[in-house]
Structure 1
Amino acid sequence: MNHLFGWTLMLLYFDTDVLCTSQPTVQSETQRMNGIVGQSFSFPERVIKSANLLYEDLGSIANVYPGKEGKITLEKRFENRINLNSDTRYFTLSDLKIDDAGVYTVENTDGGEKNKFELTVYNFVSKPQVTECDSSPCRVVCSVDNEKEVTLTLYRGKEILNHTSSPDLTKDLSLRLEVEGKNYNSTYSCVAANPISNQTVPIPKCCSKDGHPNDADSDVRGRGIVIIAVICVLVASGLVGLAIYLKKSRNGQPKGRYLSFRGVRSPPKVKACLAFFHVAF
């Protein structure tokens, strides 16, 4: 009986040992990470002695083992861009490109551990542009180049007025803002953002409280009107003076040859000036 019990214990120990040694490689959940075009990214998994860096379905793109580090084995596009940081012992990918996005796996071959990282690469977001400033009604249009996961938002102070985004990267994002008189003194801003950067542009006050152009615009237009008005007055005065001179010079002539001032038609330039004054004032 004791002999049978001993054999049973040995079998149980053997089965347990086989099950433990045949466990699959320990693998953690995929970590989502962000990178920036042109910069470097380090996969935060310390290499102990020997390890592989795998990418998507390509398999190993770099490996390290005692005496040799960061040897590229696949894909020329990664050539000279992968190394092992001597201080952190992290695989580092430099000069990031948009198409470097994907799932990478750091496999510590001596420890039997695998850690996955889903890398997404972004550009710095562009600066928004105020492309229009109309006065009837008082409104502006804010726009920005559309790229991966870019959003465009209009704020009044800290309040979100409107926002937009689009998966269609061929078209710019734009938002229109109409400013009501009662909100004229509020502060408005346009913000473009993606997961790694943002750009804020204050929206200028291009209109006055009553919806007309602001003082700077009015001054420019006012100076233009004054200049044109002066020119018209000078031209009209000269033509009227000429007509009076012609009238007086013919006072001694016979009535048949008398030129009546009332019969003189207004020259075209005088008519144009009069029309301008009618529209402008």
Structure 2
Amino acid sequence: MFVSKRFASILLILCGAFIFAQTDEIKTISVMKGDSVTLHTGVSDINRDIQILWLFGPENPDTLIAEIYKLKIFIHGSYEGLKDRLQMDPQTGSLVIGNITTSHSGLYTAQIMTDTVTIYKRFSVIVYAPVPLPVIESSSLVSECQISDRGFSCEDCAVKCSAENGPGVSLSWYKGRERLNQTSSPELNINLSLPLEIKERHSDVYHCVAANPISNKTTQFSFQQHCPQYTDSIPFCGCTEAVIRLVISALVGVAAVAILVYDIRSGRVDASPQTNVRVK
């Protein structure tokens, strides 16, 4: 008889068949994968007349996962290994989820029942994986190269930053504290990529940041590592093709000038009048 009444009570609760009910707004909680999170009921001290049910669902909280009834705690078999991660505070009925995973993101609802009223506490839990470390590499863009007394040099630097995409992940370039650009994508199966072209070498510090709502990782840009400056016909930062073209053009030009000078000199010699010498 005890089991039947208790089962009927749970069915009525799940169906929302209570006249006097108070429902809080949904509270959003962000947590890192592998961490623990506590969902608080707001109850300071449970007595035998209070019953609390915890329900969960990725989109709708329709699965009973834990309860406290007449001061006894019950943890139920449930969604994707959640049972082994659950604990309930015997004094407050708050739910503790340990070593949480991304598959446990979803909606959690506590139904707190007395003889006269039912109170609903609702939580949206979002579990994020650790944000990936961004990688900086030379871009396929060709930088501008210049010729000077010291030889050839490339002053521009074209690089790109990339990182594995994930829920809530964004990728940004910063110059000091100033954000230069940012990208993100809902397509989680593709990597994020963000180009940057630096026109001048100066003392400003550039860095690329991958971030989600609860974590971030930074990779510092280094001219020496990512865009080393070379001279004397040695290109850097993607300007090899431009330097080769400059060298070839210069050689062709020198050869053309030499041929032209030779032709002019030869023409002058052939066209000069010959002097007749008489022998007396």
Range of TM-score over shorter length: 0.5 to 0.7
Q: State TM-score, norm by structure 2.
A: 0.62
Matched letter for residue 171 of structure 1 = I
The answer as to whether partners of 2:75 and 2:83 remain within 8 angstroms in 1 is no
Q: CA deviation at 1:51?
A: 0.8
Q: Verify: 1:124 aligned to 2:130, yes or no.
A: yes
Q: Give per-residue Cα distances to partners, 1:61-99, cap 9 Å, x unaligned.
A: 111123421421544632221111357642111221212
Instruction: Find the counterpart in structure 1 of residue 67 from structure 2.
Output: 63
Matches within 5 A, 1:244-259: none
* Structure whose CA Rg is larger: 1
- CA–CA distance in 1 between the matches of 2:80 and 2:128? 22
Q: Is the 8 A contact 2:207 2:218 kept in 1?
A: yes
After the TM superposition, which parts of structure 1 deviate over 3 Å for at least 4 consecutive aligned residues? Answer: 73-76, 85-89
Q: For residue 119 of structure 2, what is the amino acid of its counterpart?
A: E
Gaps of 5+ in 1: 1-21, 223-277
The one-letter code of the counterpart of 1:28 is D
Partner SS for 1:99: helix
Q: Which has the higher contact order (CA 8 A, sep 6+)?
A: 2
Contact 1:83 1:91 in 2 (8 A): yes
Q: How many residues align?
A: 197
Give the partner amino acid of 2:41: E
Choose from 32, 35, 40 the match for 1:39: 35
TM-score (norm 1): 0.62
Change (3 A) 1:130 1:86: farther
* Alignment-derived partner of residue 15 in structure 2: none
Question: Residue 189 of structure 1: CA displacement?
Answer: 0.8
Residue 205 of structure 1: how far off its partner (Å): 1.1
Look up the SS of the partner of 1:186 in the other structure.
coil
Give the number of the structure whose residues are more often strand, by fraction.
Answer: 2
The residue type equivalent to 1:199 in the other structure is: K
Instruction: Confirm whether residue 52 of structure 1 aligns to residue 53 of structure 2.
Output: yes
Q: Provide the residue aligned with 2:171 in structure 1.
A: 152
Greater fraction of residues in helix? 1
Structure 1 residues 142 and 104: CA distance shift in structure 2, 3 A: same
For structure 2, list consecutive stretches of 5 or more residues without a partner in the other structure.
1-17, 144-155, 236-250, 252-280
1:214 aligns to 2:229 (yes or no): yes
Q: 1:100 to 1:36 in 2, by over 3 A?
A: same
Q: Which moved more, 1:124-133 or 1:29-38?
A: 124-133
Equivalent pair of 2:55/2:110 in contact (CA under 8 Å): yes
* 1:80 counterpart SS class: helix
Q: CA deviation at 1:172?
A: 0.8
Identity %: 29
Correspondence for 2:26 among 24, 30, 36: 30
